[in-house]
Structure 1
Amino acid sequence: MQNSSRRLRVENLEHRRLLAADSMIGPQYPEGWGEVSAQSAVAAAEDVISRESSGREAEGESVLKVRLDFSLDSSNFFTTRYPQAKAVMQEVVNEVVDRFNDTLAAVNPPSRSEIQWQPAVLDPRTGALTSLPQSFRAAANEIVVYVRGNNLTGLTRGLGGYNSFGVGYNCPDQACVNQANAFISNLTTRGETGAAASTPSDFAPVVGAITIDTRTDVDWNFGAVDTGEPGQSDFRAVVAHEFAHVLGFGTAPSFSRYVAGGRFAGPKANAVFPGSANIPMNGGSHLASSVRDVVPTTMTGNFDGMLSELDYAILDDIGWEVTPDIRPTVQITTMEQIVPESAGSVTVSATLSAAPSQSILVPVVISGTASANSDYTVTPETFNFASGQRTATMTVNVVDNGTNEGLESLTIRLVDSNVAKLGANTEALVTILDDDGSPVGQTQLNSPEFSSTAITVPGNNLPVAYLFRASANTTLNVTKVGATGPTEAFFVLNEDLEPIGQYNGAGELSVTLSANQNYVLRFEARGTTEQFQIASTAGFQAINNDSPTNLLQPSDVTGDGEVSALDALRVINVLNAAGASEVNIGNEALEEGNYYDVTGDDKVTSLDALRVINTLSGPSSGNSEGATASPSAIAFTPPVADSSETLADEMGPHKSDEIQLDGFVPAVVSVRLADHDHADHGHEHDDDHGDEHDEETGHDHMHDKEFSQSSSAAFAPALVDSVFVEFGASCLA
């Protein structure tokens, strides 16, 4: 029969992101690309299969494996600079492929000499294709990913490419032709028949490539995503994102079939994505940045995490056999605690939806205005769940230092990991009330005379407080007047001196008040005079009522910052004038500007005078106005904690708070930073989220041009994915 001669280009247009071993699988030739010997390549492939299958297929688990090959890497990134990087890539790859049930046919060189082929891998940095040995092979269920480090540009942190094969044959018989066709079919489908359909519904790559940025000014975090310091780039997120492209995200024909009108319409993805519309995209290979505002995803051009359920659903639409996420759900059960600096320690708890079969560690990231070691320590630094245990605790040890710091807080946030997925409640806020600030006795007390005219807080470096009683349920709003934010904190305390309204960092405070309850609106000491507008949803009459109790310093009846015999005498005079042993709060006989209800029981009795006398008889304080305490005039200092019941009874309704706060009312302010502080880290590309990746699109187009110029004529241009990661990708909330 007549010889049959053809030369074909076979390309799998998809990125798949997979990670393998913590040590190199396959030979290493740092001198250059494409110098892998046939013997070592075969040995490496066989070794991977023998070591990594380990009976998992028989157990119904994923058998898909990725061989990370570092033989083309000439940098020192994965060796001397960051030797842990290989292990981290292995972990990320395992986390991804463990969700797949696909089986892929082996790829071996054709046995007939008349069938010639040229395997190649893309150098994502240059856009050139590098020939691999013709003896290259991939074992069954194996994808080979070549990894290298190289200096990238701008905000690019990683690049990914995929396989390209040239196949030609000059066959003397039909059997040879049949083998050539079977070989080509196996290259393009690896047994996944949907990949060969006129409209492909599946994808099965053989080889891919990932390049990691090696510039010395890039600071990498190799820990769990979002656990690094501000300014670090998350290595795991970069690898996961690039690997998803190797898997076909944004690149495979089976992905493109669902793209129309700038949206992705895959049914599995739409089942996860909230709303009725298809998922918006940014270009052809990434989801729009707005998607992550609705549902977690790492597949925007501005990724910041591991693959989410939406990302896996899209891979499912591409053709991968994705299994359900069987990880238990973890969430915080102790969500908010407010403690004095003298509290010693507080416990934060987390629970799992199901007890683990073996012990697991759930990582956390800690952020906030409180400083580790000087303000607190945490033990342990992860939630440690023992086998069969659904609850774990973490202890925050509060450091009682002598520094005047105002209010400080720390947020403990759960991190998504390969052992547990995140539930609804992922954060615990611990607020620490400082006890080293201005003494309460130095606070300027004002009567509530709120109106449409703004109040003025003087810049005399003394705290100012308004003590008032709410006569109706209302919402109190306090807004800084002027364009600049407040220089110091302001807040609202309830009758137990607990902060119930916190300055939000934007010059505004809003808090709900209950009828017939007493409150304190306190402004911390400031050096600049500032004005604040007060508003009440129930009108000013609901908040323009004097509090009958000096919540900050209950025994200071006159509100002059001192506790003296005059305070007890004022109470006695009120009772004598009324000719009664008891006067109800609101009685006309009570003179405004005095805080007669020392005990806080809504009435004036001889017990209130006794409470003042007991305060005068208490121990002297270093907070007194003079060098020594005077029995007739002392600055407020609560009694020292005592085990006797008599002293406990004498303390009244505020005994616990007074002891813990040591006579000081701290600044209460909690400013939560945004996840990404773009202004601080120079994310000029993020000024407009709608166009944040125009630079990336231009980068891809540049590579397309390079492909047409530098790729071998034997191969069609292949795709390159250019990924940009913010310098502030790890900025913590």
Structure 2
Amino acid sequence: MIATKLNSTLCAALAVTALIASQPAAAISITFDYSYDTSGFFTGHTDRQTLLNQAASEFTTRLQDNLTAITSVTSGRPRDLASFNPNFFNPQTGADTTLSNYSIAADNLVVFVGAQNFGTSILGQGGPGGYSASGFSSLELNRNQSTTTDFGPWGGAISFSSTANWYFDQDATTTESFSGYDFYSVAVHELGHVLGFGTAPSFGNLVVNNQFTGIASSALYGGSVPMNDSGHWQSGLTSTVNGVTQEVSMDPYISANQRKHFTELDFAGLQDMGWQVSPVTAVPVPAAVWLFLSGLAGLFGFSRRRIV
């Protein structure tokens, strides 16, 4: 989820060359389903849909897992029948929703999205879906990933605040000053929860006394990583994105006028819970650009919204 204070949210106008990373082709894909967007928060707004897809690319360019398909079989011999029935919260109403005899393609996640009124403090909420099923093994339902040390979701749901003062970037690959809460940053945060950050058993198994003990995360941080709660890093932790220091995406708060990408510490959390995360190699850029980007945090006020 995302909410108000310094939780799950830039820069003075300057013409700079975008940072370019050398990365492998995507191994997984994320498909957004707008079936429950009855208020029209996304429907008819192709710019918002494009922004969601840009947020998803932060993950699809780094996660190299092979997720097997889950295919419902509704005809044929009785012993061949298989039924997969995903359930999730309706992103428009919050009500529990179940689909019957659904199928998920290999290496794909489906995320149902919409918007609802969360009041004044929450910007969004999201997480993986559950399911009922017959005719599948537990390994098949976890997409051929270990059920104790890995995570293979079919997808899930994300709901965004319908009343927040959003900033919808026309191109999230660029940086510029803006006013409001950054929709792109909140989308990245909630997708982290859909992928299991703070929500998967393999993540929770590594939280001990409010400290995350994963090997990759601890090596990067220099010890067990402090948690704000069972689903978020401690507020205010920093890590790097292409060599630039930034507040982590998966702490519970975000400031107005702030852009957050998924940092290396955030990715280390996903790696520890079982995702295969590829390294990223950034193309060097002039020192002046690094200094400009790293100094952004001091340009803005301290109004914060929580992201759940």
TM-score scaled to structure 1, two decimals?
A: 0.35
2:166 maps to what in 1? 219
1:469 maps to what in 2? none
Q: Summarize the alignment of residues 515-530 of structure 1 with structure 2, pairs less than 5 Å apart.
A: none
Counterpart CA distance in 2 for 1:282 and 1:238 is 18
> CA offset at residue 227 of structure 1?
3.0
Give the 3-state SS of the residue equivalent to 1:299 in structure 2: coil
Alpha-carbon distance change, 265 to 675 in structure 1, aligned in 2, over 3 angstroms: farther
1:186 aligns with 2:140: yes
User: Which protein has the larger Cα radius of gyration, Structure 1 or Structure 2?
Assistant: 1
Unaligned residue ranges in structure 2 (runs of 5+) = 1-22, 240-244
2:233 maps to what in 1? 287
Cα deviation 1:486-510 (Å, max 9, x = unaligned): xxxxxxxxxxxxxxxxxxxxxxxxx
| Counterpart selection for 2:99 from 132, 140, 150 | 132
1:101 aligns with 2:83: no
Give the 3-state SS of the residue equivalent to 1:77 in structure 2: coil
1:480 maps to what in 2? none
Alpha-carbon distance change, 181 to 79 in structure 1, aligned in 2, over 3 angstroms: closer
1:402 maps to what in 2? none
1:298 maps to what in 2? 249
> CA offset at residue 226 of structure 1?
6.5
1:162 aligns with 2:128: yes
1:61 aligns with 2:25: yes
Alpha-carbon distance change, 78 to 125 in structure 1, aligned in 2, over 3 angstroms: closer
1:674 maps to what in 2? 298
1:245 maps to what in 2? 193
1:693 maps to what in 2? none
Counterpart CA distance in 2 for 1:322 and 1:259 is 20
1:119 aligns with 2:86: yes
> CA offset at residue 124 of structure 1?
4.9
Counterpart CA distance in 1 for 2:231 and 2:143 is 24
Counterpart CA distance in 1 for 2:218 and 2:200 is 19
Give the 3-state SS of the residue equivalent to 2:285 in structure 1: strand
2:178 maps to what in 1? 229
The aligned length equals: 271
Counterpart CA distance in 1 for 2:144 and 2:56 is 22
1:327 aligns with 2:282: yes
> CA offset at residue 221 of structure 1?
3.5
Give yes or no for contact 1:121–1:207 (8 Å, CA) kept in 2.
no
**1:227 counterpart letter in structure 2:** E
Cα deviation 1:48-103 (Å, max 9, x = unaligned): xxxxxxxxxxx9633211111111210222234x4301011111112211101111
Give yes or no for contact 1:124–1:161 (8 Å, CA) kept in 2.
no
> CA offset at residue 121 of structure 1?
2.4
1:204 maps to what in 2? 152
**1:191 counterpart letter in structure 2:** N
> CA offset at residue 203 of structure 1?
0.2
**2:250 counterpart letter in structure 1:** M
Give the 3-state SS of the residue equivalent to 1:103 in structure 2: coil
Counterpart CA distance in 1 for 2:177 and 2:37 is 26
Counterpart CA distance in 2 for 1:128 and 1:673 is 38
Counterpart CA distance in 1 for 2:121 and 2:43 is 24
Q: Summarize the alignment of residues 612-627 of structure 1 with structure 2, pairs less than 5 Å apart.
A: none
Give yes or no for contact 2:48–2:168 (8 Å, CA) kept in 1.
no
Counterpart CA distance in 2 for 1:247 and 1:296 is 20
Give yes or no for contact 1:263–1:280 (8 Å, CA) kept in 2.
yes
Give the 3-state SS of the residue equivalent to 2:43 in structure 1: helix
Give yes or no for contact 2:58–2:262 (8 Å, CA) kept in 1.
no
> CA offset at residue 247 of structure 1?
0.5
> CA offset at residue 228 of structure 1?
4.0
Counterpart CA distance in 2 for 1:116 and 1:91 is 33
Give yes or no for contact 1:125–1:159 (8 Å, CA) kept in 2.
no
**2:128 counterpart letter in structure 1:** Y
Q: Percent identity?
A: 28
TM-score scaled to structure 2, two decimals?
A: 0.78
1:311 aligns with 2:278: no
> CA offset at residue 272 of structure 1?
1.4
> CA offset at residue 295 of structure 1?
6.4
Unaligned residue ranges in structure 1 (runs of 5+) = 1-58, 169-179, 334-349, 352-411, 415-425, 428-671, 686-695, 697-722, 725-733
Higher RCO, Cα 8 Å, sep 6+? 2
Counterpart CA distance in 2 for 1:144 and 1:673 is 34
Counterpart CA distance in 1 for 2:297 and 2:29 is 40
Give yes or no for contact 2:65–2:275 (8 Å, CA) kept in 1.
yes
Counterpart CA distance in 2 for 1:76 and 1:152 is 17
**1:165 counterpart letter in structure 2:** Y
**2:253 counterpart letter in structure 1:** N
Q: Summarize the alignment of residues 566-585 of structure 1 with structure 2, pairs less than 5 Å apart.
A: none
2:107 maps to what in 1? 141
Q: Summarize the alignment of residues 269-668 of structure 1 with structure 2, pairs less than 5 Å apart.
A: 269-273=217-221, 275=222, 277-292=223-238, 296-303=247-254, 304-333=259-288, 350=289, 413-414=292-293, 426=294
Counterpart CA distance in 2 for 1:295 and 1:265 is 22
> CA offset at residue 413 of structure 1?
2.7
